Amino acid sequence: MSDYLEETGKTRDRYNRLALLYDLDDVLWLGSKQYSRKKLIKATNLGDSGMVLDLTSGTGRNAGLLAKWVKNGTVIGIDISRNVLKVNRLRNSKYKNLHRVQGMVQSLPFGDETFDTVFCTCGMDTIDGPEIAVSEALRVLKKSGTISLLHLKSNKGPVDVFNFLSRFYAWVWRAEGADLLPYMQKQDVEMLVYKDFQIAEAIIVKKL
């Protein structure tokens, strides 16, 4: 447990140091990450209300999209780094339905069955214990609610331009990648969407 907490602390400190540089990552990916975030939101079939949780909310690119989409609901973004949440707050100050919480996604400070939808884009690949985070996401998700995930895989396939970018991203952010399909298949969920992009995977499930 002490090793796990130490690694989580290192992750927090790294993002605190690099918070102002984080959005350069979207430039590096030539806009493909933001495009993928929008595609994931559309594929989830969100309504315009409800409680939505944005895991590893970071500088708020996904949180802003969610807050705009769920205009009559509430979006809560959680991240371990206070500095990226400051950027998040500045970027999305116009969205009054978006709230931010500093905390660990592996130990969510919310009650059981609180949220209608849980999102995590470009985050499960950078955290320690992604399976623990998914377990927590399922705990706070209401029955028949959905979890939508998009992240780099640990096995990234053949080398090409996007594979090179993913390896550079992994080096900068210490992103180990996450392969969560086998874990999801063992949970009490219905698989709605699974897309394998070789270097990344998208997963949308409904809690039974």
Domain definitions of the chain by residue range? 2-207
Buried b (16+ CB within 10 A) or exposed e, 124-163: bbbbbbbbebbebbbebbbeebbbbbbbbbeebeeeeebe
pLDDT of 127-164, one tens digit each?
Answer: 888 999 999 999 999 999 999 999 877 765 544 445 55
**Residues 91-97, mean pLDDT to the nearest whole number:** 96
| CATH number belonging to domain 2-207 | 3.40.50.150
Mean pLDDT is lowest, of 73-87, 149-163, 190-204, for 149-163
The angle at the Cα of 14, spanning 13 to 17, to the nearest 5 degrees, equals 85
Has residue 175 got a pLDDT over 60? Answer: no
pTM for the structure as a whole: 0.82
pLDDT of residue 32: 67
- Please give the C-alpha separations between residue 23 and each of 40, 75, 110, 129, 148, in angstroms, as whole numbers: 19, 21, 28, 24, 22
Q: What is the dihedral of CA 125, 128, 132, 138, to 10 degrees?
A: -40
pLDDT of residue 22: 62
Q: Give the tokens for residue 21.
A: 């540089």
Residues facing residue 150 across a β-bridge: 121, 202
pLDDT of residue 102: 95
Q: How many CB atoms lie within 10 A of CB 51?
A: 19
Backbone angles phi, psi at 157, to 5 degrees: 80, -165
Beta strands 74-79 and 98-102 are parallel
